[in-house]
Amino acid sequence: MADLAKLRDAVMNGNDKGAVEAAREALAAGADPVSLVTEGVTPAMAEVGRKFECGEAFVPELLIAARATKAVFEILRPRLAQQGAQPVGRVVVGTVKGDLHDIGKNLVAAMLEGGGFEVIDLGVNVTPEKFVETAQARNAQIIGLSALLTTTMPAMKATIDAVAKASLKGKVKVMVGGAPVTQAFADEIGADGYGETAASAVGVARKLIGK
Amino acid sequence: MHPLFAQLTARGPAITDGAWGTQLQARGLAPGECPDVWNLTHPGAVESVARAYVEAGSDVILTNTFGANRIALGRHGLAGQAVEINRAGAAISRRAAAGRARVFASLGPSGSLVAAGEVAPDDLRAAFEEQARALADAGVDALLLETFADLDELRVALAAAKATGLPVVASLVFDSGPAKDRTMTGATPEQAARAAAEAGADAVGANCGRGIEGYIPIGPRLRAATTLPLWMKPNAGLPESIGGKTVYTTTPADFAARVPALVKAGAAFVGACCGSTPDFIRAIRRSDEFCETVCSQ
């Protein structure tokens, strides 16, 4: 299992080339692709998330760890699919309509991916309709909404309303986050979940789908 | 101290202005629309915001150019108009100030992180050089780098701003970490103040954030790391959703009541950020406590 320690270290240190190399080595040595996720990437991202929560790591560290995670998934995805491995859950993420900020959303997407979720990233300035259509078409259990601007926070409520209108309320859970977003705001607009930081997204998402 | 800053703060703290983005929204700017291009498309509306702050008693007003570097403008397909937008923004604020207030031009971050490979350092440098030069050429009194978080980006922007010969304020946003006293990239107030001073800033400070209360302890920490004048421009707190509308619950009176604490914490320039209005500036200007603080110095 020494090879997975190498993978974990590379992901934690944001060394994308090293992470891909370690993943290739582990696969060549016969490791199960699923174990590379559950015993490699997931605990590594969880550790980066823990450091982020307690102020030992900040956005740049999280972003480079996320980049390494992405690089590893590029080579793992086809193998996982081939094996019929199921993700923990499927999440549609995006920054709400009118908002072009993507740093927070990218962090959440990376944490969720690292946590074993399949993430469908719709980018920035995403309409409520687009969120709903994608969640339906891709059979997602969760929609994750991000906003940085206080002026675009009402678009979160509009998206939650659109989910209800499409009769998906309860079937598709909505989690929200972003610098100006608080638990009180999330409650007021009827969100199912709220995370104060990107690192808390995995725990919130797992709870929403009972895993 | 730079002579202009010495003059502005000679009789106590100088009062800067309040929010622009939320004021432009009140005049019809749609969420997600680029505020900076309004300097070209809606100059009258932008000038009315600037004039409202002059009339409220601001000693210093900013410009509507926070996002007018070519990297940020590029997200709206406006990269090619950076120079034009900055020149127009400077001209609008100078016209509104009409000699009654000084004009400090606002330059915000690019929104892309060098550390994450999202932007090349050379592109970042070119973008800030272009913006700083356009604003300086248009005759502003000083340059304000505000809402920065990444010290590497701040150094690049500071070098570009200092090259114009104008005095420069470097202001960061401290809203991260368990104690909400770090920038998004983890810099402490002490590290930020030292980095800004070393890179030639003429004043350092803190803006936006999570309301005025959180910035009162930041002042002494900046002060401990530098002798430069301090610039403090906290926002009106985090908004709440009331009846489907996003509302800031901090009132002008609430904010003004905390300003003396900010001044005691070392602020030489005081103002307000997101969610504030000209009434905030009026309240600070009128506040007896503020007068007493000024007069007792």
* Residue contact A188–B241, C-beta within 8 A: yes
Amino acid at A31: A
CB pairs below 8 Å between A and B: how many? 93
Residue among B154, B246, B249 with most chain A CBs within 10 A, to mutate: B246
- pLDDT of B295: 58
Is residue A194 less than 8 Å (CB to CB) from chain B? no
- pLDDT of A151: 78
Q: What is the pLDDT of residues B225-239, one digit of tens each?
A: 999 999 999 999 887
Helix (H, G, I), strand (E, B) or coil at A74: helix
Distance of CA A184 to the CA centre of its chain: 23
Is residue A187 less than 8 Å (CB to CB) from chain B? no
Is residue B100 less than 8 Å (CB to CB) from chain A? no
- pLDDT of B289: 65
Is residue B21 less than 8 Å (CB to CB) from chain A? yes
Cβ contacts (< 8 Å) between A58 and chain B: which residues? 176-177, 182-186
Is residue A59 less than 8 Å (CB to CB) from chain B? yes
Quote ipTM for the complex: 0.79
The pTM of this model reads 0.90
- pLDDT of A130: 98
Which residue numbers in chain A have pLDDT < 70? 1-2
* Nearest to A125, CA basis, from A91, A168, A159: A159
Helix (H) / strand (E) containing B247: strand B245-247
Enumerate residues 231 to 250 of chain B having a beta carbon within 8 A of any beta carbon in chain A.
238-242, 244-246, 248
Amino acid at B118: E
* Residue contact B238–A103, C-beta within 8 A: no
Cβ contacts (< 8 Å) between B237 and chain A: which residues? none
What is the spatial distance between Cα B36 and Cα B34, in angstroms, rounded to a whole number? 6
Buried b (16+ CB within 10 A) or exposed e, A44-71: bbbebbebbbeeebbbbbbbbbbbbbbb
Is residue B74 less than 8 Å (CB to CB) from chain A? no
Cβ contacts (< 8 Å) between B274 and chain A: which residues? 150
Provide the mean pLDDT of chain A: 93
CA–CA min distance A58, chain B (Å): 5
- Residues with Cβ within 8 Å of B8's Cβ and at least 6 positions away in sequence, in order, are B14, B59, B60, B102, B269
* Residue contact A98–B30, C-beta within 8 A: yes
Q: Helices B43-56 and B82-97 meet at what angle, rounded to 10?
A: 40
Is residue A164 less than 8 Å (CB to CB) from chain B? no
Amino acid at B17: D
Task: Name which of A53, A63, A125 is nearest B32 (Cβ-Cβ).
Answer: A125
Burial of B6 (0-12, 13-18, 19+ CB in 10 A): exposed
* Residue contact B115–A53, C-beta within 8 A: no
Q: Is the dihedral of CA A99, A124, A108, A188 positive or negative?
A: positive
- What does B67-134 look like in DSSP terms, one character per residue? T-SHHHHHTTT-GGGHHHHHHHHHHHHHHHHTTSSEEEEEE---SS-TTTTSS-HHHHHHHHHHHHHH
Distances (CA, A) of B146 to A10, A83, B122: 35, 51, 21
The C-alpha angle A184, A186, A192, rounded to 5 degrees, equals 130
Is residue A16 less than 8 Å (CB to CB) from chain B? no
Question: B201: which DSSP letter?
Answer: -
As separate numbers, helices (DSSP H) first and strands (DSSP E) second, chain B gives 14, 10
- Please tell me which residue of chain B has the smallest CA distance to A99: B32
Which residue numbers in chain B have pLDDT < 70? 244, 288-297
CA–CA min distance A94, chain B (Å): 14
- pLDDT of A95: 96
Is residue B77 less than 8 Å (CB to CB) from chain A? no
In chain A, the largest separation of any two C-alpha atoms, in whole Å, equals 52
- pLDDT of B288: 65
* Residue contact B246–A150, C-beta within 8 A: yes
* Residue contact A150–B113, C-beta within 8 A: no
